[in-house]
Amino acid sequence: MTEYLIRRAVQSVLVLFLVSVISFALMHAAPGGPLMVMLPKGGSQQAILAQEKNAGLLDPMPIQYLHWLGQLLHGNLGYTYKNHVPVGQILWPTVGNTLILMGVAWVLSLLIAIPWGIYNSTRTYGISDNISTVLAYLGFAMPAFWFGILLQEFLSLDLNWFPLSDMYSMNKQGNIGDLIWHLILPVCVLVLVFLASYLKYSRASMLEVLHMDYVRTARAKGAPEKHVIYRHALRNALIPIITVLGLDLPNLVSGAALTENVFNWPGMGRLFVEMAFAREYAVLMAITMLGAVFVVIGNLLADILYAIVDPRVQLGKKGGTAA
């Protein structure tokens, strides 16, 4: 187990390193340097050159990369070109905002999807099961941001029930009630997206388990149905669900980009789009790397959780799932 974890950790670091090289190269291969954007129009060629030299932008790319990497290892994410603000200062608050939004949506959708999926698996093709199938098909086929726009249009513009966008109303910063008020619409959108896959997974894995011999045995020895479902079936059905949850972890960070843009939520995804247009390479690098870190941790966590909840799985001996 320990050996396996060490091997996976080394692999993860390697993957992260490659991700950073690729995204760094990509950004620096883009036509038009960052200073072209930020210097006032009519600035002479010499002025641009001088500024670029100052910012170390004329060094060969590998040097620039090593410089960036060295700074990163010292915990310095760099500075924005415009106004020279430390990247961390604008990044971390948005990460928090995204986690609030996604965390609420994620927990809520789990609380809905797992019990509902269990219920549906015991009454397949009933009304409730059909409703959830329709929901799942809609969730997979509908552009989530469009659903967001529709909610804005009908629930907040026409009916005026919910605020249109943003995280807080004017001069109500930090007010929890106001925050919840603003959370409702974006959370609705995200819950639909999550529900689509979670409902499918929880129903499918329950159905698979319900056909197992030990479930039949439990029924045969006269265990009450509740006992069979929750003690015998659910515990085993949760194993694949937990893996999916681990693999979904990165979505908590990157998945909300569009919803955040629709609802003007000051999160990481919106920051990324904003900064992509402004060509703030340092911020873009930081967010890309953060996203990659979450993916790698999610994969690792999925494997470890899998081994913890299922004693039959022995990490390392099987060769691992992603390795």
Of 87-95, 111-119, 140-148, 308-316, the window that binds other proteins (rule: CB under 8 A) is 140-148
Q: Does 42 bind other proteins (CB under 8 A)?
A: no
DSSP per-residue letters across 244-281: HHHHHTTHHHHTTHHHHHHTT--SHHHHHHHHHHHT-H
* Count of chain residues binding other proteins (CB under 8 A): 47
Q: Does 13 bind other proteins (CB under 8 A)?
A: no
Q: Does 31 bind other proteins (CB under 8 A)?
A: yes
Looking at 6, 26, 37, 63, which residue binds other proteins (CB under 8 A)? 26
Looking at 191, 287, 300, 315, which residue binds other proteins (CB under 8 A)? 287
Q: Give me 314's structure tokens.
A: 């022995």
- Distance between CA atoms of 304 and 298, rounded to whole angstroms? 10
**What single-letter amino acid sits at 125?**
Y
Q: Does 150 bind other proteins (CB under 8 A)?
A: yes
CB 116 within 8 A of CB 161: no
Q: Interaction with other proteins in 98-137: which residues (CB under 8 A)?
A: 137
User: Cα angle at 275 between 274 and 280, to 5 degrees?
Assistant: 160
What are the start-end ranges of the H helices in 160-319? 176-210, 213-220, 225-227, 234-248, 251-254, 257-262, 268-278, 281-309
Q: CB-wise, 199 or 287, nearer to other proteins?
A: 287
Looking at 1, 22, 63, 107, which residue binds other proteins (CB under 8 A)? 22
Q: CB-wise, 153 or 225, nearer to other proteins?
A: 153
Residue 303: CB atoms within 10 Å: 22
Q: Does 161 bind other proteins (CB under 8 A)?
A: no
CA pseudo-torsion sign 220, 225, 230, 233: positive
Q: Does 90 bind other proteins (CB under 8 A)?
A: no
Of 12-20, 51-59, 302-310, 311-319, the window that binds other proteins (rule: CB under 8 A) is 12-20
Closest approach of Cβ 292 to other proteins, in Å? 5
Q: Does 257 bind other proteins (CB under 8 A)?
A: yes
β-strand partners of 86: 79
- 168 CB contacts (<8 Å, ≥6 apart)? 174, 175, 178, 179, 182
Looking at 273, 301, 309, 313, which residue binds other proteins (CB under 8 A)? 273
CB 138 within 8 A of CB 196: yes
Of 117-125, 181-189, 233-241, 279-287, the window that binds other proteins (rule: CB under 8 A) is 279-287
CB 144 within 8 A of CB 189: yes
Under the rule (CB under 8 A), what is the footprint of other proteins?
11, 14-16, 18-19, 22-23, 26-27, 30-31, 137-138, 140-143, 145-147, 149-150, 152-153, 157-158, 250, 253-254, 257-258, 261-262, 272-273, 276-277, 279, 284, 287-288, 291-292, 295-296, 322
